[in-house]
Structure 1
Amino acid sequence: MSSYGDWAALSETCDADVARYLKREVSDGIIAPGYTEEALQILGAKKGGRYNVVQVDPSYRPAPTEVKDVFGISFEQGHNDFRIDREVLGNVVTRNRDVPETAQIDMIVSLITLKYTQSNSVCYVKDGQAIGVGAGQQSRIHCTRLAGGKADTWYLRQHPKVLGLRFVEGIRRANRDNAIDVYVSDEHDDVLAEGEWQKWFAERPEVLTREEKAAWIATQTGVTLGSDAFFPFGDNVERAHKSGVSYIAEPGGSIRDDNVIETADKYGIAMCFTGMRLFHH
């Protein structure tokens, strides 16, 4: 029986480098427009030959209207066919209008992620990598808090104390990563208590204190935040600022846009109104 949980999706041909990377990662399948012969050989050996490898037709176009049936009621919505590129980033509405190329790339990454993420949703990106996604929440601020917490954890994993952790010999990578995740959280005693730390570490680490975590997170800058619908209040920008956000891409169109822009100006954040609502279900 096949598993259909975690998949890798590529927009270009899968080569041997990507296949070798996926070979050591936990996933159930891959979908791509093409594969090199070497890539197919590598992927064919994953999971004892039971790894799902699917080739998609790049020319396929879905129906313009999506239909979902829920308990006999049909819901329809237009297919999200927005093209996301630099052209949607031209409307910078803040006093700070400096959006460097690296930030534009991060904005595009965030918006593409949001296009395929359950609404409500926001996405934090740094250096071309999504570092925190808050999806399917009941309000915009809940999305921003959830994703911001994930972005903070991503950055805490680079704290000198974390990089200096000494693990027991032969620990599996998944167990090591889980131990780090607990170590940087408020539940750190779960891996530091006597009789417990010996399962993970060669020597007992010092606690990463709340004050140390706050001081480290405060050094984070240059993060980009994308939102699939407008920010209704400036509180989203306030929370984003705490996680080092310097650039924001959101549709705009709230009756309180002036408050959102004012809050961004308070922190020197550059914000683009894309006019592109990615709020789909």
Structure 2
Amino acid sequence: MSIRRALISVSDKTGIVSFAKQLAELGIEIISTGGTHRVLEEAGVPVTGISEVTHFPEIMDGRVKTLHPKIHGGLLAIRDLPSHTSAMEENGIEAIDLVVVNLYPFQQTIQKPGVTVEEAIENIDIGGPSMVRSAAKNHQYVTVVVDPADYEEVIAQLQKDGSTSLETRRQLAAKAFGHTAAYDALIANYFNELLGITFPEQLTVTYNKQQALRYGENPHQQAAFYREPRAAAGTIASAKQLHGKELSYNNINDANAALELVREFSEPAVVAVKHMNPCGVGIGETISAAYQKAYEADPVSIFGGIVAANRPIDKETAEQMKGIFLEIILAPSFTPEALELLSTKKNLRLLEWGDSSLTEPAAGLKVQTVGGGALVQEADLGQVTQKQCETVTERAPSEEEWKQLLFAWKVVKHVKSNAIVVAKDSRTLGVGAGQMNRVGSAVIALNQAGDEAKGAVLASDAFFPMKDTVEQAAKAGITAIIQPGGSIRDQESIDEANKHGIAMVFTGMRHFKH
């Protein structure tokens, strides 16, 4: 289908003048609306106003301008169906062959500080999606463009053939329907947030493609990374890569796990992650001291791992980090000296995540796909204080034990269940993750801690079904335990702790992480 007539109405005017000029040079008539009409006219592009086509003024502050039979009839007509062509002739409707439309900036509007509901509503586009959907539906005859990135290819085809190919029109139609679907999803989610509806009857989620990935978890799996349109600051999706090779699927997953954990701490903290589990966590007076503790926690597993810090990386810390192979370092920022030093490692990815005042994982919904559906839950933002915990043993924890218990409790929340963490001196000594029974995780964590377990504390993400975990802790020299409690056999664990002089506290909160 040769293109003789185009309708242009865009909020994002990137490249539109150049594109329109090239259309005009090809002899294509251009129709336009409001602000786009003014921009094109001022640039010297021959353009016809929408009212000259509809013979009806733009009314109601521009709310009504393109919702007219002379527009939608020109878009939806099946060009080789006699009943449609005769209807066009009888009603003076001319075909529109190319639609170039993108929508009111609803997303940008609702992200503005202090935006009112009225402002948001006024930036809900009605005519734009209608034109896009009409053109996309009738892509057998009509080319629809919603993305300035596609202008170049459309012009190239027009210059070569005077038309676009059916394959191109179909690809552009798919993108157009995705564009309007994402737009409507944003609007629906805005109103759900406004009304405090967390789990609507129909969950509409939308993401923008951030990058293609070489592969997924394994080389035979294809993958891509998508970003929420309103991704919050301090998340992996909003982090800025400063250096290093492209991130992989597993890199992003591990980096996210590290970032969510390090944001639990207000003190200078460093987290090392391997395969979605923390292998070393430390807090200290400085970020350098915190890194040293995280490294010493497990100097074997940190090799090839992902490290996240909640303070800027300075030169001293960079020098420590440079000594081993790391895949990624995430930090709120890097000093110029640290960036220069770490950038000498060609493949090391450096990610800047911004605000170091963020001291809890990002809120929002967690979506896990399953066969034929999805499980959706709120992010686990649960935290406890000393006052919220119940001491259930004869001996209460000392002040230092409380400090270590609460530290270990923050870490165990981010370990795959069944999860056990052993800690002392504000660093992890042993991590037991993902075992089919709790005592198995405890044995792993305690064995890793070795002799350092003497005088250390132990955290469990869920209750002890039997006293065996306490027995293992006692043999290793653990002096205090933090766990949710709630087992029908809690008393057996309490009695075993009392037998060995172990202090034990219940949080009343479970942290399963599957």
Cα deviation, residue 129, structure 1: 1.7
| TM-score, structure 2 as length reference | 0.39
Cα deviation, residue 70, structure 1: 3.1
- For the structure 1 residues 84 and 14, does the alpha-carbon distance in structure 2 shift closer, same or farther, using more than 3 Å as the test? farther
Q: Which amino acid is 1:143 matched to?
A: S
Q: Does 1:52 align with 2:349?
A: yes
Cα deviation, residue 31, structure 1: 1.0
In structure 2, C-alpha distance between the alignment counterparts of 1:146 and 1:67, rounded to whole Å:
30
Q: Does 1:280 align with 2:503?
A: no
Per the alignment, in what secondary structure is the counterpart of residue 40 of structure 1? helix
Determine the structure 1 residue equivalent to 2:458.
225
Q: Which amino acid is 1:263 matched to?
A: E
The question of whether the paired residues in 2 share the 8 Å contact of 1:250 and 1:274 is answered with: yes
Larger relative contact order (C-alpha < 8 A, sep ≥ 6)? 1
The question of whether the paired residues in 2 share the 8 Å contact of 1:110 and 1:226 is answered with: yes
In structure 1, C-alpha distance between the alignment counterparts of 2:335 and 2:384, rounded to whole Å:
28
Unaligned runs of 5+ in 2: 1-244, 252-303
Per the alignment, in what secondary structure is the counterpart of residue 272 of structure 1? strand
In structure 2, C-alpha distance between the alignment counterparts of 1:77 and 1:139, rounded to whole Å:
25
Determine the structure 1 residue equivalent to 2:418.
120
Superposed, 1:161-200 pairs within 5 Å as: none
Determine the structure 2 residue equivalent to 1:198.
none
In structure 2, C-alpha distance between the alignment counterparts of 1:279 and 1:221, rounded to whole Å:
27
In structure 2, C-alpha distance between the alignment counterparts of 1:83 and 1:53, rounded to whole Å:
29
Encode CA deviations 1:114-157: one digit per residue, 9 max, x unaligned: 122111100011222211111001111111111111112x64xx
The question of whether the paired residues in 2 share the 8 Å contact of 1:118 and 1:280 is answered with: yes
Encode CA deviations 1:12-37: one digit per residue, 9 max, x unaligned: 22222221211112311111122222
Per the alignment, in what secondary structure is the counterpart of residue 496 of structure 2? helix
Partner residue of 2:337 out of 13, 26, 38: 38
In structure 2, C-alpha distance between the alignment counterparts of 1:237 and 1:11, rounded to whole Å:
33
Determine the structure 1 residue equivalent to 2:442.
144
The question of whether the paired residues in 2 share the 8 Å contact of 1:33 and 1:57 is answered with: yes
How high is the sequence identity, in percent, across the aligned residues?
34
Cα deviation, residue 87, structure 1: 4.2
Aligned residues: 212
The question of whether the paired residues in 2 share the 8 Å contact of 1:227 and 1:250 is answered with: yes
Per the alignment, in what secondary structure is the counterpart of residue 75 of structure 1? strand
In structure 1, C-alpha distance between the alignment counterparts of 2:438 and 2:400, rounded to whole Å:
26
- For the structure 1 residues 8 and 74, does the alpha-carbon distance in structure 2 shift closer, same or farther, using more than 3 Å as the test? same
The question of whether the paired residues in 1 share the 8 Å contact of 2:361 and 2:381 is answered with: no
Encode CA deviations 1:162-181: one digit per residue, 9 max, x unaligned: xxxxxxxxxxxxxxxxxxxx
Q: Which amino acid is 1:82 matched to?
A: G
Determine the structure 2 residue equivalent to 1:245.
478
In structure 2, C-alpha distance between the alignment counterparts of 1:146 and 1:79, rounded to whole Å:
28
- For the structure 1 residues 61 and 91, does the alpha-carbon distance in structure 2 shift closer, same or farther, using more than 3 Å as the test? closer
Encode CA deviations 1:21-71: one digit per residue, 9 max, x unaligned: 1111231111112222222122212x2x32111111436974532111133
- For the structure 1 residues 278 and 70, does the alpha-carbon distance in structure 2 shift closer, same or farther, using more than 3 Å as the test? same
Q: CA RMSD in A?
A: 2.1
Per the alignment, in what secondary structure is the counterpart of residue 53 of structure 1? strand
The question of whether the paired residues in 1 share the 8 Å contact of 2:384 and 2:507 is answered with: no
Q: Which amino acid is 1:12 matched to?
A: R
Determine the structure 2 residue equivalent to 1:206.
none
Determine the structure 1 residue equivalent to 2:404.
106
Per the alignment, in what secondary structure is the counterpart of residue 245 of structure 1? coil
Per the alignment, in what secondary structure is the counterpart of residue 326 of structure 2? coil
Q: Does 1:262 align with 2:495?
A: yes
Cα deviation, residue 232, structure 1: 1.1
| TM-score, structure 1 as length reference | 0.69
Q: Does 1:9 align with 2:308?
A: yes
Cα deviation, residue 255, structure 1: 1.0
In structure 2, C-alpha distance between the alignment counterparts of 1:61 and 1:226, rounded to whole Å:
19
Determine the structure 2 residue equivalent to 1:29.
328
Unaligned runs of 5+ in 1: 156-219
Determine the structure 2 residue equivalent to 1:96.
395
Per the alignment, in what secondary structure is the counterpart of residue 479 of structure 2? strand
The question of whether the paired residues in 2 share the 8 Å contact of 1:80 and 1:280 is answered with: no
Per the alignment, in what secondary structure is the counterpart of residue 20 of structure 1? helix
Per the alignment, in what secondary structure is the counterpart of residue 226 of structure 1? strand
In structure 2, C-alpha distance between the alignment counterparts of 1:108 and 1:267, rounded to whole Å:
21
